[in-house]
Amino acid sequence: MPSLGHYPTPVEFLEPFSHAGSSLWIKRDDLTHPIYGGNKVRKLERILVRARDNGATTLLTLGAIGSHHVLATTVHGRHAGFQVEAVLVPQPRTPHVVETLEASLAAGLVAHSVSSWARVPAAIARRLGPHTAFVTVGGSNVDGALGYHDAAFELAEQVRQGQVPEPDLVVVALGSAGTAGGLVAGLASCGLRSRVVGVAIADPPILLRAIALRLARGCVDLPRRALAERLLVETGFRGPGYGFPTARGEEALQRASFCGLLLDPTYTAKAFAAALDLVDRRAARTVLYWHTLSSAPMAPLLVGAPDLE
């Protein structure tokens, strides 16, 4: 199978947000795919190959109703010829959440909704079958994290070519932890000194950290300590919890929009707020914000979508 995404994704200097002595850069993983990009594309690379190699015809996954992972799995899984089903759990409704769900349904998702996370395991168990590949929440198994291990090597090559200075800190949203875990593994092995700041957007942060490090250890054969020292977890931007917009996130979202950078309230507004805070405090010389939200236009994905408003 040829690769799903378009790599390398660009790196750019975010001049308007930089200061003398502390510069902000962006890694444009919003551009991983022209139809639906974002971080889930890299994770799906190996997940789809393995499902096909195992003879699966259906992908079964789960997520919150506005899950980008569910949308990415539906768009790219359907394109690869799979039937795609997901068990969906409620989350605070924002226009972005509703639009993402509508797009998933328009892309052919077979949705099974349940009232809480506690009901997910039974709903999954009922639908597992011999030709069904289960894809874990956020696509964050080792196969998924390996996509971000590879992405760290892609960044190292861009540093080598002089496209971006070597980052001191790489800032990324920390949700199901595959992105941060894979980056930790890749950065610890690709020759860069960069550390990852995982901006916790869910609870509890200590568990997110443990999951990220477990995934990192699944990607590379390095001592736990070598990985643990690469990962800092930032807990100050989560607000009341997963999916709840925050004032600092909204402010970051506004500031980013002046420069044409689109953020979402659940993940990237909080991560970008943390990145801005680091450069505003001159906490590091070079901060790389790793953008994880698709910037592909939503309108084509909404053609034929049910209206859920």
Q: Which of 5, 66, 175, 243 touches ligand PLP by CB under 6 A? A: 175
Q: Is 138 in the site for ligand PLP (CB under 6 A)?
A: yes
Q: Is 179 in the site for ligand PLP (CB under 6 A)?
A: yes
Quick note: the x/- pattern for ligand PLP over 84-123, rule CB under 6 A, is ----------------------------------------
Compute the C-alpha angle 239/68/203, nearest 5°: 30
Q: Which of 147, 167, 178, 265 touches ligand PLP by CB under 6 A? A: 178
Q: Residue 89: CB partners within 8 Å, gap ≥ 6? A: 62, 63, 64, 65, 113, 114, 115, 116, 117, 120
The answer to whether the bond into 10 is cis (omega within 30° of 0) is no
Q: How far is the CB of 82 from ligand PLP (least distance, A)?
A: 20
DSSP H/E element including 173? strand 169-174
* Structure letter (DSSP) for residue 264: -
Task: Give the nearer residue to ligand PLP in terms of CB position, either 189 or 268.
Answer: 268
Task: Give the nearer residue to ligand PLP in terms of CB position, either 133 or 291.
Answer: 291
Task: Give the nearer residue to ligand PLP in terms of CB position, either 38 or 245.
Answer: 38
Q: Is 267 in the site for ligand PLP (CB under 6 A)?
A: yes
Q: How far is the CB of 247 from ligand PLP (least distance, A)?
A: 20
Q: How far is the CB of 69 from ligand PLP (least distance, A)?
A: 5
Q: Which of 22, 132, 140, 189 touches ligand PLP by CB under 6 A? A: 140
Q: Is 68 in the site for ligand PLP (CB under 6 A)?
A: yes
Q: Which of 41, 70, 156, 173 touches ligand PLP by CB under 6 A? A: 173
Could you give the CA distance from residue 64 to residue 225 in angstroms, rounded to a whole number?
33
Q: How far is the CB of 58 from ligand PLP (least distance, A)?
A: 22
Could you give the CA distance from residue 130 to residue 141 in angstroms, rounded to a whole number?
20
Q: Is 293 in the site for ligand PLP (CB under 6 A)?
A: yes
| Cα-based distances in Å from 308 to 86, 186, 243, 295 | 18, 40, 18, 22
The Cβ of residue 117 has, within 10 Å, a number of other Cβ atoms equal to 13
Q: How is residue 115 written in tokens?
A: 């009232």
User: CA nearest 276: which of 7, 10, 18?
Assistant: 18
Q: Residue 247: CB partners within 8 Å, gap ≥ 6? A: none
Task: Give the nearer residue to ligand PLP in terms of CB position, either 5 or 178.
Answer: 178
Q: Can you give the binding site for ligand PLP, defined by CB under 6 A?
A: 38-39, 68-69, 138, 140, 173-180, 264, 267-268, 292-293
